[in-house]
Amino acid sequence: MDDHILEMRGITKTFPGVKALENVNLVVRRGEIHAICGENGAGKSTLMKVLSGVYPAGSYEGEIVFDGQSVRFSGIRDSEHVGIVIIHQELALVPYLSIAENIFLGNERRGRFGVIDWNKANAEAGELLRSVGLDENPVTPVGQLGVGKQQLVEIAKALSKDVRLLILDEPTAALNDTDSAHLLDLMRRLRDRGITCIMISHKLGEITAVSDNVTVIRDGKTVETLNLHAGEVTQERIIRGMVGRDLESYYPERESHPGEEILRVEDWTVWHPTQDRKVVEGANFTVRAGEVVGIAGLMGAGRTELAMSIFGRAYGRNTTGRLFVHGKEVKPRNVSEAIDAGIAYATEDRKHYGLNLIEDIRRNVSAAALDKLASKGFVNGNEEVKVAEGYRRDMNIKAPSVASIVGKLSGGNQQKVVLSKWLYTDPEVLILDEPTRGIDVGAKYEIYTIINRLVAAGKAVLVISSELPELLGICDRIYTLSAGRITGEVPVQQATQENLMELMTKEKELAA
Amino acid sequence: MTRTVPPSSEPEAQDSTAPKDVAPAVALHTGTSNVRTLLTSNLRQSGIYIAFVAIIALFTVLTDGTLLSPGNVTNIVLQYSYILILAIGMVIVIIAGHIDLSVGSVVALTGAVSAVLVIQQGLPWWVGVLAALATGVAIGAWHGFWVAYVGIPAFIVTLAGMLLFRGLTLQVLDNISLSPFPPGYGDIASGFLNGLIGGDGYDAFTLLIGGIAVAGYAVSQYRSRIALIRYQQPVESFPLFVAKIVLVGAVVMAFAWQLAHARGLPIVLIILAVLILVYAVVTKRTVFGRQVYAIGGNLAAATLSGVKVRAVNFWIFVNMGFLAGIAGVVFSSRSNGAQPGAGNMFELDAIAAAFIGGAAVTGGVGTVVGAMVGGLIMAVMSNGMQLMGVDQSIQSVVKGMVLLLAVAFDVYNKRRAGASR
Mean pLDDT of A17-39: 86
pLDDT over 70 (residue B421): no
Give the number of A-B residue pairs with CB atoms closer than 8 Å: 112
pLDDT given at position A510: 45
Strand partners, B32: B235
pLDDT over 60 (residue B287): yes
In which band, very low, low, confident or very high, does the pLDDT at B159 lie, cut at 50, 70 and 90? very high
Mean pLDDT of B288-297: 95
Using alpha carbons, list the distances in angstroms from residue A479 to A400, A431, A489, B378: 40, 14, 4, 63
CA distance A174 to chain B (A): 20
Q: What percent of chain B has pLDDT over 70?
A: 87
pLDDT over 90 (residue A342): yes
> pLDDT digit string (tens) for A316-336?
888 899 999 999 999 999 999
User: Hey, is the C-beta of B1 within 8 angstroms of any chain A C-beta?
Assistant: yes
Please report the residues numbered 319 through 348 in chain A whose beta carbons come closer than 8 angstroms to any beta carbon of chain B.
Answer: 334-336, 338-339, 345, 347
Q: Are residues A66 and A185 in the same domain?
A: yes
pLDDT given at position B18: 37
- Please report whether residue A191 resides in a domain: yes
A106: number of Cβ within 10 Å: 9
Q: Are residues A371 and A488 in the same domain?
A: no
Q: Do A374 and B1 touch (CB under 8 A)?
A: no
Please report the residues numbered 129 through 168 in chain B whose beta carbons come closer than 8 angstroms to any beta carbon of chain A.
Answer: none
Q: Do A335 and B305 touch (CB under 8 A)?
A: yes
For the entire predicted model, the pTM comes to: 0.78
Mean pLDDT of B40-66: 81
Mean pLDDT of B18-26: 37
User: Hey, is the C-beta of B291 within 8 angstroms of any chain A C-beta?
Assistant: yes
- Please report whether residue A486 resides in a domain: yes
In which band, very low, low, confident or very high, does the pLDDT at B19 lie, cut at 50, 70 and 90? very low
A27: number of Cβ within 10 Å: 17
C-alpha span between A205 and B111 (Å, rounded): 71
User: Hey, is the C-beta of A381 within 8 angstroms of any chain B C-beta?
Assistant: yes
pLDDT given at position B190: 84
- Which has more pLDDT, A445 or B38? A445
In which band, very low, low, confident or very high, does the pLDDT at B416 lie, cut at 50, 70 and 90? low
Q: Are residues A307 and A414 in the same domain?
A: no
User: Hey, is the C-beta of A375 within 8 angstroms of any chain B C-beta?
Assistant: no
Q: Which residue of A has its CA nearest to B6?
A: A400
pLDDT given at position B37: 55
- Please report whether residue A252 resides in a domain: no
Domain encompassing residue A161: 4-243
Lowest mean pLDDT of A282-296, B121-135, B395-409, name the range. B395-409
Q: Are residues A432 and A422 in the same domain?
A: no
Q: Are residues A119 and A169 in the same domain?
A: yes
CA angle A194, A199, A202 (to 5 degrees): 155
pLDDT given at position A40: 63
For A122, the 3-state DSSP assignment is helix
List the single residue in A363, A381, A400 with the smallest CB-CB distance to B285: A381
Q: Do B293 and A352 touch (CB under 8 A)?
A: no
In which band, very low, low, confident or very high, does the pLDDT at B183 lie, cut at 50, 70 and 90? confident
In which band, very low, low, confident or very high, does the pLDDT at B38 lie, cut at 50, 70 and 90? low
Chain A partners within 8 Å of B1 (Cβ): 15-18, 408
In which band, very low, low, confident or very high, does the pLDDT at B154 lie, cut at 50, 70 and 90? very high
How, if at all, do strands A291-297 and A460-465 pair?
parallel
CATH pick for B42-176+184-194+263-419 out of 3.40.30, 1.10.3910, 1.10.3470, 1.20.1070:
1.10.3470
Q: Which residue of A has its CA nearest to B282?
A: A378
**What ipTM goes with this model?**
0.80
CA distance A512 to chain B (A): 37
Q: Which residue of B has its CA nearest to A337?
A: B306
Q: Do A345 and B304 touch (CB under 8 A)?
A: yes
C-alpha span between A359 and A417 (Å, rounded): 12
pLDDT given at position B27: 35
Q: Are residues A421 and A433 in the same domain?
A: no
Mean pLDDT of B142-155: 96
C-alpha span between A441 and A443 (Å, rounded): 6
C-alpha span between B302 and A171 (Å, rounded): 30
> pLDDT digit string (tens) for A390-402?
999 999 898 888 8
User: Hey, is the C-beta of A159 within 8 angstroms of any chain B C-beta?
Assistant: no
Please report the residues numbered 235 through 274 in chain B whose beta carbons come closer than 8 angstroms to any beta carbon of chain A.
Answer: none
pLDDT given at position A301: 82
CA distance B301 to chain A (A): 4
Q: Are residues A411 and A435 in the same domain?
A: no
User: Hey, is the C-beta of A352 within 8 angstroms of any chain B C-beta?
Assistant: yes
User: Hey, is the C-beta of B298 within 8 angstroms of any chain A C-beta?
Assistant: yes
- Please report whether residue A351 resides in a domain: no
CA distance A45 to chain B (A): 10
In which band, very low, low, confident or very high, does the pLDDT at A467 lie, cut at 50, 70 and 90? confident
- Which has more pLDDT, A184 or B38? A184
User: Hey, is the C-beta of B288 within 8 angstroms of any chain A C-beta?
Assistant: yes
Q: Are residues A420 and A303 in the same domain?
A: no
- Please report whether residue A63 resides in a domain: yes
Strand partners, A141: A98
Q: Do A378 and B4 touch (CB under 8 A)?
A: no
List the single residue in B29, B364, B420 with the smallest CB-CB distance to A16: B420
Residue finishing a domain among A243, A276, A297:
A243
**Total domains in the fold of chain A:** 3
- Which has more pLDDT, B232 or B130? B130
Most confident of A17-26, A464-473, B353-362: B353-362
Residue finishing a domain among A243, A275, A304:
A243
pLDDT over 70 (residue B5): no
Q: Which CATH number is A212's domain given?
A: 3.40.50.300
Mean pLDDT of chain B: 86
pLDDT over 60 (residue B1): no
Q: Do B304 and A339 touch (CB under 8 A)?
A: no
pLDDT over 60 (residue B234): yes
C-alpha span between B202 and B213 (Å, rounded): 18
pLDDT given at position A16: 64
- Please report whether residue A250 resides in a domain: no
pLDDT given at position A2: 65
Please report the residues numbered 11 through 40 in chain B whose beta carbons come closer than 8 angstroms to any beta carbon of chain A.
Answer: 23, 25-26, 29
Q: Which residue of A has its CA nearest to B224?
A: A382
A422-461: b (≥16 Cβ within 10 Å) or e: bbbbebbbbbbbbbbbbbbbbbbbbbbebbbebbeeebbb
C-alpha span between A377 and A493 (Å, rounded): 49
pLDDT given at position A420: 95
Using alpha carbons, list the distances in angstroms from residue B73 to A159, A306, B190: 66, 62, 14
Q: Which residue of B has its CA nearest to A17?
A: B1
pLDDT given at position B20: 36
pLDDT given at position A110: 73
Chain B partners within 8 Å of A336 (Cβ): 306-308
Mean pLDDT of A278-301: 89
> pLDDT digit string (tens) for A203-260?
778 888 889 999 988 878 888 888 888 777 787 788 777 776 554 567 888 888 888 9
Q: Do B306 and A334 touch (CB under 8 A)?
A: yes
Please report the residues numbered 344 through 383 in chain B whose beta carbons come closer than 8 angstroms to any beta carbon of chain A.
Answer: 360, 364-365
C-alpha span between B333 and A105 (Å, rounded): 58
Using alpha carbons, list the distances in angstroms from residue B140 to A249, A453, B107, B148, B213: 59, 49, 12, 11, 32
Q: Are residues A455 and A483 in the same domain?
A: yes
Q: Are residues A300 and A368 in the same domain?
A: no
Chain A partners within 8 Å of B5 (Cβ): 400-401, 403
Q: Do B290 and A359 touch (CB under 8 A)?
A: no
* Separate counts of helices (H) and strands (E) for chain A: 18, 22
In which band, very low, low, confident or very high, does the pLDDT at B3 lie, cut at 50, 70 and 90? very low
Lowest mean pLDDT of A18-22, A58-62, A152-156, B307-311, name the range. A18-22
pLDDT given at position B289: 95
- Please report whether residue A493 resides in a domain: yes
Mean pLDDT of B67-85: 91
Chain B partners within 8 Å of A354 (Cβ): 301, 304
Q: Are residues A153 and A182 in the same domain?
A: yes
In residues, how long is chain B?
421
pLDDT given at position B42: 53
Q: Do B297 and A358 touch (CB under 8 A)?
A: yes
Terminal alpha carbon distance of chain B = 6
Q: Are residues A391 and A485 in the same domain?
A: no
Task: Return the amino acid letter for B169.
Answer: T
- Listed by start position, the domains of chain B span 42-176+184-194+263-419
* Separate counts of helices (H) and strands (E) for chain B: 17, 4
pLDDT given at position A511: 42
Chain A interface, best mutation among B29, B304, B367, B420, by max A CB count within 10 A: B304
In which band, very low, low, confident or very high, does the pLDDT at B8 lie, cut at 50, 70 and 90? very low
Mean pLDDT of B4-33: 38
- Please report whether residue A32 resides in a domain: yes
Strand partners, B334: none
pLDDT over 80 (residue B420): no
CA distance B352 to chain A (A): 22
Task: Return the amino acid letter for A37.
Answer: C
- Which has more pLDDT, B297 or B37? B297
In which band, very low, low, confident or very high, does the pLDDT at B34 lie, cut at 50, 70 and 90? low
